[in-house]
Amino acid sequence: MDILETHAYDRRQRRNMSCALFLSLLPFFLAAALYFYMGAHDWPASITSAGVKSAPTLLLAAVVLSWNGGQSILGVVGGLIFSAVGDCCLVWPELFLHGMGAFAVAHLLYSLTFLSSRYATYTSSSWTRLLYLILFMFGGGFYTYLFPFLKKAPDSHLLIPGVGIYIVLIIVMGMLAIRTRHISTLLGSLSFMVSDLSLALQVFKVTAPTVHGNTFVMVMYYLAQLLIAVGDVKAVENKDDFAKWKRT
């Protein structure tokens, strides 16, 4: 009976946590909805459009900070803040390299977070190693495909090595997300890759611009940041469950 009561208490705690987390995420949902409703991606480059674009990411950073405390500043919170800086830079096309650098730092911080003791540690299996290989090959293949278009860009001498480093960082981030075996973290990293892939195809003129191209990029981007943030908030809870399982 005591065991049953303990399980029931754990379920109630998780349900209460999920409700509280959802309520704390409402400002993010409202800010993201406002961005799409106002069509901010079609505005001319300005401080206002940069603020509207980066607001959802900054609100996510505030949520993670409120749940996980100051130690998350060098983790997911820091990654979200650098992502917001990248959001602002990409509003101005001439600041593309600066924005890419900010997002590269964000991926590095996410990767360090996924390696931290806050996440449960699992031994690698054959299927995870296969996923690592698939991601690595995909990153290399995409860079090879993108290379001729990078050579045509005005800043090719900076973009060719810069994009290569960026792809390595986001692939490593995805591999470490797989290592956590946390579904939100994994889906968030994959959504980030899809968003960046779509953006790269448009920015480097691999594909013709489409009416809803930027909308798709931003939907996948906000989804990625949301899933990574939620995964980080729940990381300690999942680690506790893993520890309980190991003791049984």
What pLDDT sits at residue 237?
56
Closest CA to 110 of 85, 77, 153: 77
pLDDT digit string, tens, across residues 39-92? 877 788 899 999 999 999 999 999 999 998 888 888 999 999 999 999 999 999
What pLDDT sits at residue 203?
92
What pLDDT sits at residue 127?
82
CA distance 200 to 189: 16
CB atoms within 10 A of CB 209: 9
What pLDDT sits at residue 18?
81
How many domains are there within the chain?
1
DSSP for the chain reads: -HHHHHHHHHHHHHHHHHHHHHHHHHHHHHHHHHHHHTTGGGSPS-HHHHHHHHHHHHHHHHHHHHHH-GGGGGTHHHHHHHHHHHHHHHHSGGGHHHHHHHHHHHHHHHHHHHHSTTSPP----HHHHHHHHHHHHHHHHHHHHHHHHHHHSTTHHHHHHHHHHHHHHHHHHHHHHHHHT-HHHHHHHHHHHHHHHHHHHHHTTSS---TTHHHHHHHHHHHHHHHHHHHHHTHHHHHHHHHHHHH-
Q: How far is C-alpha 140 from the chain's CA centre?
A: 20
Q: Tokens for 170?
A: 């986001």
Which pTM does this prediction carry?
0.88
- Average pLDDT across each block of 10 residues of the chain; the chain has 248 residues. List them in order: 48 73 94 89 87 96 92 92 97 95 97 87 77 93 96 92 97 93 94 96 86 90 97 72 41
Q: Tokens for 1?
A: 């009976």
What pLDDT sits at residue 241?
46
What pLDDT sits at residue 10?
52
What pLDDT sits at residue 12?
60
What pLDDT sits at residue 25?
95
What pLDDT sits at residue 235?
84
Domain membership of residue 118 as a residue range? 2-247
CA distance 110 to 105: 9
CA dihedral 229, 223, 240, 175 (to 10 degrees): -100
What pLDDT sits at residue 42?
76
